[in-house]
A and B are shown apart, each in its own frame.
Chain A
Amino acid sequence: MDLTTIFQAVITGVLMAGIYALVAIGLTLIFGVVRIVNFAQGEFVMLGMYVTWWLWKAGGIDPYLSLLITMPVLFVFGVLVQRFLFRPILSAPDMAQIFLTVGLSVVLMNAALFFFTADFRSVKTTYSEWALRVAGITLSVPRIFAFAGALVLAGLLTLFLSKTDIGKALRAVAQDREVSMLLGIDPERMYLLAVGLGAALAGAAGGLIVPFFYVFPTVGVVFVLIAFVVVILGTLGSIQGALLASLIVGVAESLGILFAGADLGLVVVFAILVATLILKPSGLMGQA
């Protein structure tokens, strides 16, 4: 195996990392503010993919352009999930919350199966096959777009959280819910916003990969698993931490596929997860 092949795998992993980061950031946003571990986050990605695919299929809308529709649609979906599913069980035991979000994930997968069948769908755009060749390495243009798009969205979210009053209010609720109320913040509204944003980010991740990634009802499973690994690796709640952890996970997966075969890329990711949990047993909820 030559160096170029390895380098190619590394680049492919890096380019996927932005997407993984978006899903993970959505997950931590929801967990940080609402204190719910959303096992359905991967299905939010799947929904984003189907919405994008459907807009292209039925309306001929370019996948990147349809982000302008996909993200608001997923935002509203997230708001409804918070209002009608999460809110009633916020003070329920952890186990009930896990059942609820796992249940939601199963329901969404089956809904996709029912409405769209188990067929693998794909969106063929003029640029789907475009690629740049640099020093023997192939850089897929849609993958570059996905990476860049994810970085832009992560950057916008960072700005929103650090510069706007509403963004600061979200962070205040995450840091101390009671105090946030004393300052005049209504946490319930921030919960709606957090789940809406988390879903919109997942939907954007889905939309961004549609030009080079098959759409099928269970596609989200991989993303939620990877997002958990990223969240555990990265410092919880930090966008930069999520980006860095995503780079590690993306490259590890890609090298795993190269050395161990297409079905085993995830095994490498989980090896990292297990190693992290042994080294940092506080896991998902623990502080660095």
Chain B
Amino acid sequence: MLEVKDLDAAYGEVMVLRGVGLSVGRGESVAVIGANGAGKSTLLRAISSLLRPRGGAILFDSNRVDHLPPYEVAALGIAHVPEGRRVLPDMTVEENLELGAYLPGPKARRRESLAWVYGIFPRLAERRRQRAGTLSGGEQQMLAIGRGLMLRPRLLMLDEPSLGLAPLVVEVTFQKIAEVRKEGIAILLVEQNVQRALGLADRGYVLDGGRVVLEGPSQDLLENPHVKVAYLGL
């Protein structure tokens, strides 16, 4: 469904991604792991067109999407939940969710989607009239994911959903992501929490210095000596 081929990306003169290849199949969950500054966020930003790649290609359903503006990529059914959650702080929880279904297709299903998202995240239903900026970090993460789901995406891209959350909250967040996964939505998950990310995903990629250095089924990666030493601290 998603295919990234030989992708180069840069900020100004600084090359950040070099020849990255990656694919996500229908309903598949894929993790991208890597240290700080490895280029994980940059990869997601390139896929959602927030950043124009320097080279290579990004295909969705075999169509090139790397020259579309971000709002057209979203319209194809790719939801990007950015690093740091980025909820709209001055709007209520429900307004944030409603804006997740801004595009015509998702808008037609807005009520149904709201009920669906509130079903997955009952906490958000309790806080629907509250300003998003006043939510706790874990709640904001749920809101960011819920807002992405309102797009009725076929691919949900999550950038470090565990960032800055207490271990217990991370646990809950990953349970929710597992629920979303069961709905048949493909997931591209970027994480530094390697154990959890590979625990959830079918397959994984290890990004180091902007290159894919390892890839394979999650179980294989978890048992890989390099991964154990470098990312699991074993």
Q: Which residues of A contact B (CB under 8 A)?
A: 165, 168-169, 171-172, 175-176, 178-179, 181-186
Contacts and interface: CB of A to CB of B under 8 A. Distances in A.
A181 B50 contact: yes
Q: Which are the 3 A-B pairs with shortest beta-carbon distances?
A: A184-B103, A181-B70, A184-B74
B203 interface: no
Contacts of A171: 88, 90-91
B140 to A, nearest CB: 12
Contact of B48 (A168, A169, A175, A182): A182
B88 A176 contact: yes
Contacts of B79: 182
Could you tell me the dominant secondary structure of chain A's interface residues?
helix
Given A172-B91, A185-B99, 15 more contacts: A165-B99, A165-B102, A168-B95, A171-B90, A171-B91, A176-B86, A178-B70, A178-B82, A182-B74, A183-B99, A183-B100, A183-B147, A184-B74, A184-B75, A184-B151
7 contacts: A165-B102, A175-B89, A179-B88, A183-B74, A183-B151, A184-B151, A185-B71
Q: Which of B88, B89, B151 has the largest count of A CB atoms less than 10 A from its CB?
A: B88
Nearest to A162: B95
A175 B74 contact: no
Interface residues of B, number: 25
B167 to A, nearest CB: 27
B42 to A, nearest CB: 14
Given A165-B107, A176-B88, A181-B50, A186 B69 contact: yes
Contacts of A184: 71, 74-75, 102-103, 106, 151
Contacts of B102: 165, 169, 183-185
B98 interface: yes
Given A175-B89, A181-B71, A186-B69, A168 B99 contact: yes
A184 B90 CA distance: 19
Interface of B: 48, 50, 69-71, 74-75, 79-80, 82, 86, 88-91, 95, 98-100, 102-103, 106-107, 147, 151
A179 B71 CA distance: 10
Contacts of A168: 91, 95, 98-99
Nearest to B85: A179
Q: Which of B50, B79, B99 has the largest count of A CB atoms less than 10 A from its CB?
A: B99
A101 B45 CA distance: 33
B75 A181 contact: no
Contacts of A178: 50, 70, 82, 86
A176 B82 CA distance: 12
Contacts of B50: 178, 181-182
Contacts of B107: 165
Nearest to A188: B69
